[in-house]
Structure 1
Amino acid sequence: MTILVVVLALLATACTRSSGETETGAAETTAASGEGTDGGGGGSGDFGDLTEVCGPGDASGATAQGVTDDSIQVGTISDPGFVGRQGLNQELFDASEVFVEWCNEAGGINGREIVDVQRDAKLTEYKQRITEACQEDFMLVGGGGVFDDTGQDERLGCLLPEIPAYQVSAEARESELAVRPLPTALDELPIGAMQYLQEEFPDSTDAVGFITGNVASTITVDAQLQEAADELGWEKAYEAQYNSVGEASWTPFAQAMQSAGVKGLVYTGEPENLAKLLQAVADIGYDLEWTLTGGNALDQRYIEVGGAAVDGTYVYSAVVPPFLAEENPATQQYLDLFDEYLPDGKAEALLGFNSFSSWLLFATAVKECGSEVTRSCVFDAASGITEWTGGGLHAPSNPSEAETPRCGLVVEATADGFVVPEGFEATDGVFRCDEESVLALDGDYGEGATLDSVGKSIDDLE
């Protein structure tokens, strides 16, 4: 579930949102390196089951901001410069760089080279980066910011469309003028992993604990999970919030869960903190039957920190994880492109796959527009796509309707690595697809930013 991947607002240091003056960030530009290319397309522009995503052509004309005869400038936002966690979500920049290098070597999009400006929001400067992108970029593609609620009015005010890798806040998750390859609707929740746990551990759901960080985005997700648990008939035995700055000791949480008789834990937050919590649980000699957390734990670092204590951690993913690359050609191609263009990049981080899917969607829409690349044409083309898998990187989604994917798979963490657990029954390739795996929520979890709120309408988009 994508929104749980992005609850990296639970970070290892405190922070405040900046609402002051614009501060210029260190933007970094990626275009073709020129090495090994002839300007006419030096390689295949096919990806997964998508054909000729990129390639040569005769597109021309300065048809919109950021578009020239020869190039299209777009922006990508991420937070790797955040001082409290250097490299935070660097995979968004890495996946974008790999896509741009690969696409440009294949000939660009209809012959136009992509120029990607990496805009580092450093966690607290999202609004400033949006303001800069408004002045220069054609669109935003393949990125996301933890504090994305701070710039939605500015983005809509300058009519800057976005195809994000992820979004966190309610304001962003259902904002207008955005097309999402993997939507995370506010009124729906994928519950495939919860259904799996209920089937595999039927005697454990009468004593469930809930722990989340003390920031708004994760508190919202925790509330959604608790609503789903209640709908499934689970009984809550314990709930707590931890300090997102970090806890000096996780033992009090472990002891409290032991006292409450918690059998299974639903955790929303940063995975290294979870690993430390589970170590504390093991240290007092207590055993949980299972732990459910978000896809951001699909990272070898989680296992390195937690060791054997992470056994029995389950996550739900709509993205084919890297350890299944041999079974999924698109995943293998993605990893191969990293080997070719950015061998030291964060190739196996889940958000990178989301980013690459965003770029593929962008390129598909731009190609459809031919020479007349305008924001309205590209946005209309992208938002008209009703079935999307990123070439096979992830489960089918419906960007047009912003529906939560109906397919996913359960992954289990062990001390030796990640596996698909016994008992998980796939119906379509590696995924299990079921309308019943997505729950309609009744709670009020906020609403998205609108064009009307900033005095604009979709008719203003050119």
Structure 2
Amino acid sequence: MVCLLRRFAPLVAAGVAAALLAAACAEPDLTVGVPNTTTTVPLGSRAAEPEGAPPAGEAAGTPSESPPAPSPEPPEQPEPPSAPPQPAPGVAPAGEVVPPAPPEPPPAAEAPAESEPPDASASGSDASPLRVAVIADLQTGGVADGRSASVELAMLAWAEAVNAAGGLAGRSVELVTLDAGLFGHEAVLAEACAGGVFALVGSDALLDDEGVELLAAPDCDLVDFPARVHSPRRAASPRTFQAVPVSNDFADAGALRWVAARQPVRIRSTATFFVDFPVSVIAAERTAEAARGLGFELVYDPSVAITESLAPYAADMAALGVHHVLWDGDTQSLLDLLGGLQDLGWSVGVNCSSACASAQFLAAAGDAADGVLIWSPYLPLREEGYSPELAVYRQWLAVVDPQAIPDLQGVAAWAAARLFEEAVRRAVGAGTPTEDPAALTPSAVAAAAAGIVNWHGHGLHAPTDPGTGEPSPCGVVMGASDGNLYRFHPAQPGSFDCSPENLFALEATAQLGLESPAEPGVSEAPAAQSEAVDPP
């Protein structure tokens, strides 16, 4: 495996205004505001294009909107405030859609009013709880303890919110947490199959391809709505539906493009590390292919063990004049490397995977993380005014754990749960004359999910197509500073960069990790996902 390294320029100093960052951009960016529409495609057609879909890079129009999903929010909703500052009518920057004036987010966390679930017998549904499982890496023997802790908390918050609103299909939701501990994913997946679990929702486990064939096994029949997908086989699973789909054919290149446009010289001395987990190696290979295609030059690419200290590698990087790092490994190893660089007084920029969006990493890294960039499909947490759903997540999180720190990993789990809710509603025909809670089965939910396109998670992210599995080019470049993530690009709060070039078409690495036999039933998968065999 050959990996060229390019270097990323150091992050813009903390406190630099977003407007100045946007002005420094040498190329126009296509941005869209928070969407407000959802459409469907015919059930069972994951590969179908949504009728009237907007051109790539443009904001969605106003297709028919699906019935609103239950959105339990704490009481005392305030009145909408005046609109935030916006360009005068008719003078928005070219290619940019200014988001509408949002309502004010809910007040600070306060226990929501209790409400009893509706009588299941009255609706004809099974009175037993709907068992939903989240698989997370929690206790890992010190390798990566707590890497999915915020995902578990987000799912507890979601279950609390859903039950306060009456449950799903007339049934209360019972959340089961299954700790994969990095190396036990297949075992806990089998446990879910045998334990009467209806669906996997909000999961984030690093080795998530282990046992993936069980998802479609006749004696298991689970449907899967993960927070993050890590392995190629999980991404290609026909029973897996992602709120923000990850594709084996494309790499997210939004943050790489942003760096390349601003630091064309410094990216000529880039490093990448291959941490010896198969999923991490594959992710690093794909990032390296995209980076090379954008002009990065990889000059240092060591393979390291996940238990190995990376501090000694800092001296090699300084000696080679490395100024940028591409990182797809675990955050504890990155912390080790950043600490070694900091001790030497050597500063580098870092393009990191979504793992660096965790509150655990940001708190542990402190100012050592200054210079770390991520590409996020979600809005920054501080932009609640543009996405009230962020405030809903934050408030219900405080209900289940007042000390919990919200982060984008938790937002990803919350978004997955909202997608599951929508699929359940459609499966039973909620809000229609033919509503039938007794029709709720995993297969019915999978069929309903396959028809969901132009989905925005109640404003958490730009429109995506969970049903077809097509990736979205939309995202936000965020940078770490003082233990927090700040918007760098696009400068307009509440907006996303949706340039089609943010998706880099993979060639050399597209088939990595797809060598395992197809899981049962894969031959019946829609054409859009049947070419691959299975992925936070």
TM-score when normalising by structure 2: 0.69
Map 1:23-102 to 2 at 5 A: 68-84=126-142, 85-102=144-161
1:366 Cα offset (Å): 1.3
Work out which of the residue numbers 224, 228, 235 in structure 1 matches 2:297.
Answer: 235
* SS, match of residue 350 in structure 2: strand
Distance 1:375 1:299, change over 3 A: closer
Aligned position for 2:112: none
The answer to whether residue 406 in structure 2 is matched with residue 348 in structure 1 is yes
The answer to whether residue 369 in structure 2 is matched with residue 291 in structure 1 is no
Which 5+ residue runs of structure 1 have no aligned equivalent?
Answer: 1-40
C-alpha distance in structure 1 between counterparts of 2:423 and 2:74, whole Å:
15
* SS, match of residue 413 in structure 2: helix
1:110 Cα offset (Å): 3.4
Aligned position for 1:4: none
Contact 1:58 1:110 in 2 (8 A): no
Contact 1:74 1:117 in 2 (8 A): yes
Distance 1:328 1:416, change over 3 A: same
Pairwise CA RMSD: 3.1
Work out which of the residue numbers 472, 479, 482 in structure 2 matches 1:405.
Answer: 472
The amino acid of 1:317's aligned partner reads: S
C-alpha distance in structure 1 between counterparts of 2:184 and 2:483, whole Å:
38
1:350 Cα offset (Å): 2.4
The answer to whether residue 200 in structure 2 is matched with residue 140 in structure 1 is yes
Work out which of the residue numbers 285, 298, 307 in structure 2 matches 1:223.
Answer: 285
The amino acid of 1:138's aligned partner reads: F
Higher relative contact order (CA 8 A, sep 6+): 2
Distance 1:353 1:456, change over 3 A: same
Work out which of the residue numbers 118, 137, 150 in structure 1 matches 2:210.
Answer: 150
The answer to whether residue 339 in structure 2 is matched with residue 279 in structure 1 is yes
Distance 1:280 1:68, change over 3 A: same
The amino acid of 2:292's aligned partner reads: D
1:57 Cα offset (Å): 5.8
Contact 1:163 1:179 in 2 (8 A): yes
1:186 Cα offset (Å): 1.0
TM-score when normalising by structure 1: 0.79
* SS, match of residue 261 in structure 2: helix
1:427 Cα offset (Å): 6.8
Contact 1:173 1:184 in 2 (8 A): yes
The amino acid of 1:336's aligned partner reads: Q
Q: Once the two structures are superposed, what CA deviation does each residue of 1:280-301 show, in whole Å capped at 9, x if it has no partner?
A: 223223332x211122222444
Distance 1:98 1:293, change over 3 A: same
Distance 1:343 1:375, change over 3 A: same
The amino acid of 2:155's aligned partner reads: S
* SS, match of residue 325 in structure 1: coil
C-alpha distance in structure 2 between counterparts of 1:449 and 1:57, whole Å:
45
Q: State, as a whole percentage, how many aligned pairs show the same letter.
A: 25
* SS, match of residue 348 in structure 1: coil
The answer to whether residue 496 in structure 2 is matched with residue 431 in structure 1 is yes
Distance 1:427 1:433, change over 3 A: farther
Aligned position for 2:19: none
Distance 1:43 1:127, change over 3 A: closer
1:156 Cα offset (Å): 2.0
Q: Once the two structures are superposed, what CA deviation does each residue of 1:147-175 show, in whole Å capped at 9, x if it has no partner?
A: 22221122221332211112222221211
1:209 Cα offset (Å): 1.3
Contact 2:251 2:504 in 1 (8 A): yes
1:364 Cα offset (Å): 1.3
Contact 1:192 1:410 in 2 (8 A): yes
Contact 1:175 1:449 in 2 (8 A): no
The amino acid of 1:126's aligned partner reads: H
1:416 Cα offset (Å): 5.8
Aligned position for 1:359: 417
1:380 Cα offset (Å): 1.0
The amino acid of 1:96's aligned partner reads: M
Aligned position for 1:21: none
1:279 Cα offset (Å): 2.6
The answer to whether residue 170 in structure 2 is matched with residue 111 in structure 1 is yes
